[in-house]
Structure 1
C-alpha cells in the first residue's frame, strides 16, 4: 500500500488572485518581507499497488486527468510505502 501526497499549484504564468489577496493582508499586518504568495492544494491518497512503479503510474495518471487542470496548473507528488492505514 502507498500514500501519495500530491501538490497542485497554478502555473507561474497564471494570475493567482487569492494569493495576491493573502499577500496584501500579510503586508497590511506588518509582514513587509512577504513579496509573493501562491495558493495551491495538497491532496493525500492511499492506494494499493503491486509495485512502486505501478502506484507511481496511477498517481501521475489521475493527477493529470482528475486532480489538476493541465492548462492552468502543475502538480508534484511524493510517494511513500505504508504498512497499514487507519480509515478516517
Structure 2
C-alpha cells in the first residue's frame, strides 16, 4: 500500500472513512517497518462485540507526522443490520 517507512514503536494517525467509524481517528503504534495495511476495530452493537475491517488506501508524511487513510471493508467485517432495518427490538426475541 505505502512506500512510507516508519520505525518500529513509532506512532502514526489512522483516519477512518465510511462505516461506523467514519470521521474518527486513532493513534496507532507501528509494529514493523511500515504502517498496517489493514486494521480491525471493535464496537459493541446491541450488546455484541462486532469487528469492523478497514484497509489502508493512502498515506502521507507531513513534517514529523504520518497519517494513513483507512476505508471500511463491509464484506470483510461482521454483518450489521442498518438502523432502519432493525425494527423494534425492545421486546423478547421470537423463537420458532
Q: After TM superposition, is the score higher than 0.5?
A: no
Q: TM-score, normalised by structure 2?
A: 0.30
Q: TM-score, normalised by structure 1?
A: 0.31
Q: Which protein, 1 or 2, shows the higher relative CO under an 8 Å CA cutoff with sep ≥ 6?
A: 1
Structure with more helix by fraction: 1
Structure with more strand by fraction: 2
